[in-house]
Amino acid sequence: MNALDSLIEALKRLPGVGQKSAQRMAYHLLQHDRTAMPRLAGALTAAVERIKHCERCHTFSETPLCIVCADAKRDRRLLCVVETPADQAALERTGSYLGYYFVLLGRLSPLDGVGTRQIGAAELLARAAEDGVEEVILATSFTAEGEATAHVLAEALRARGIKSTRLARGVPIGSELEYVDLGTIAHALSDRR
């Protein structure tokens, strides 16, 4: 495989990038932005070498404890469970949640061989049982796998006497009702307050 084909194959590994997009990126870099290529390569190398998982919550971190877990000012009564570090970052950007996190690094998917062991359910249950945790917020996605994950975790938490709640779902702010999918409208109607 020549260098161009190798670059295209590497770019195709990114989510949502197919053959044509990978080719377009490769040709753009080679033709219009060669100076970005060493920076990109350096950033990728540094990320591989320095970024690990936080020992406590499993998000990405360059230190044993991420910045959130190291922050003693956060509300230790709240533990929010998310599927990925990207989900945690999205919640953090809202500025409305001040508790701690637990990142599952996935969601249940029996067809793909992903069970409770692979997503760290045992570690989550141990973390939720720590002194001070009063509520576990299940912030998994609203896909079939995310719903199944939330259900299994909620049942396991309930069996241990630990309170869990689920993120609310409903009509997005700024949307017009006629354009919202029927499932979202139905959930918003049944979960109204």
How far apart CA 100 and CA 68 sit, in angstroms, is 7
Nearest to 103 by CA among 53, 51, 161: 53
Q: Which pair of tokens denotes residue 159?
A: 């069996």
Please answer whether residues 87 and 133 qualify as being in contact, where contact means their C-beta atoms are separated by less than 8 angstroms: no
How far apart CA 72 and CA 51 sit, in angstroms, is 22
Please answer whether residues 156 and 127 qualify as being in contact, where contact means their C-beta atoms are separated by less than 8 angstroms: no
**What integer pLDDT is reported at residue 1 of this predicted model?**
78
Nearest to 88 by CA among 116, 111, 54, 131: 54
**What integer pLDDT is reported at residue 174 of this predicted model?**
87
CB atoms within 10 A of CB 154: 18
Q: For 53-99, what is each residue's pLDDT tens digit?
A: 999 999 999 999 999 999 999 999 999 999 999 999 999 999 999 99
**What integer pLDDT is reported at residue 177 of this predicted model?**
80
Mean pLDDT estimate for the chain = 93
**What integer pLDDT is reported at residue 172 of this predicted model?**
83
- Which residues sit opposite 100 in a β-bridge? 79
189 pLDDT higher than 90: no
Mean pLDDT score, 1-24: 95
**What integer pLDDT is reported at residue 106 of this predicted model?**
92
* Amino acid present at 173: I
**What integer pLDDT is reported at residue 193 of this predicted model?**
67
**What integer pLDDT is reported at residue 8 of this predicted model?**
96
Mean pLDDT score, 101-122: 93
134 pLDDT higher than 80: yes
